Structure 1
C-alpha cells in the first residue's frame, strides 16, 4: 500500500491541529486514505519551514493547505487521478 498520501504537520497544544485531526479522521474513514501526523517541533527543518503556521496538510508531499482542512477540496483532490 505504501506511505499514506496525507501528512498533517502539527504542534502539541494546538486547537486548530485537533480540529484538523478530527476532519482527517472523518475523511480517511470515508475514503480509505491513509494519513500520519508529524510534530513540527520534532524536526528543525519542519520548524524552519512551518513555524507557527500549523496545522499544515500535505497531499502526496505537497502543501494542500494550512490552519484549516478544506474538507470538500480535499475529498475532490483525493478522488482525482494522480
Structure 2
C-alpha cells in the first residue's frame, strides 16, 4: 500500500519550506509520496487550517503542524506500514 502524505503549505511560508525539507528523508525512508497543497488555493482548507500551516496530514489524520515532529511521524508511519 502506497503512503501519501499531504503537506498543507503556502508559497511564502518559511516554516512550510522547512517542514518540506525536513520531511523528505522520512518520506524516502517509508517510500511515501508527499503532496504539497497550497491552502490559499482552497477556501475550505484555508478556513480550517489557516493559522496552523504548515500542517502534515495522512488522510484526515493530522500528524503535526508548525514544525515537523519527526519521532511522531516515524512512529505513525511504522504503525500503518
Q: By how many angstroms is 1:60 displaced?
A: 2.8
2:80 and 2:52 mapped to 1: Cα distance? 29
Moved over 2 A (4+): none
Q: Is the 8 A contact 1:5 1:61 kept in 2?
A: no
1:34 lines up with 2:16 in the alignment = no
1:1-82 equivalent positions in 2, closer than 5 A = 4-81=3-80
Q: TM-score, normalised to structure 2's length? A: 0.88
RMSD: 1.6
The size of the alignment, in residue pairs, is 81
Q: By how many angstroms is 1:40 displaced?
A: 0.5
- Long gaps (5+) in structure 1: none
Q: By how many angstroms is 1:64 displaced?
A: 1.3
Q: TM-score, normalised to structure 1's length? A: 0.87
